[in-house]
């Protein structure tokens, strides 16, 4: 999935550059390229963050309940999470 997301971003940038080159890089193609690069950077950042495993819920060490990764206490049993 991660490689697919990066491949789609690269394909979008390449398509924007080829359309811009064919049309002479008018305002429309420059704006389109800028939008695709910005969205592509966001996608790559999300993919990189998802590789670290910091996206998603954590588990309480005491009761096993699902909690926010940044929660100072478990919402189920009240135990401190050590964060």
pLDDT of residue 35: 87
pLDDT of residue 74: 92
The count of other CB atoms within 10 Å of the CB of residue 59 is: 13
Tokens 């954590």, residue?
Answer: 58
Residue 78 has pLDDT above 80, yes or no: yes
- In angstroms, the CA 41 to CA 22 distance is 24
pTM exceeds 0.75, yes or no:
no
Dihedral sign computed on CA atoms, order 61, 59, 51, 54: negative
What's the whole-number mean pLDDT along residues 23-46? 81
- In angstroms, the CA 15 to CA 60 distance is 47
Beta strands (DSSP E) in the chain are 58-59, 66-67
The average confidence (pLDDT) of the chain is: 81
């Amino acid at each position: 999935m991660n490689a697919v997301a990066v491949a789609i971003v690269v394909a979008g940038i390449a398509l924007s550059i080829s359309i811009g080159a064919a049309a002479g890089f008018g305002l429309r193609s420059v704006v389109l390229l800028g939008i695709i690069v910005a969205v592509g950077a966001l996608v790559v950042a999300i993919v990189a963050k998802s590789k670290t495993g910091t996206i998603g819920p954590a588990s309480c060490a005491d009761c096993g309940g699902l909690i926010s990764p940044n929660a100072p206490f478990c919402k189920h049993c009240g135990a401190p999470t050590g964060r």
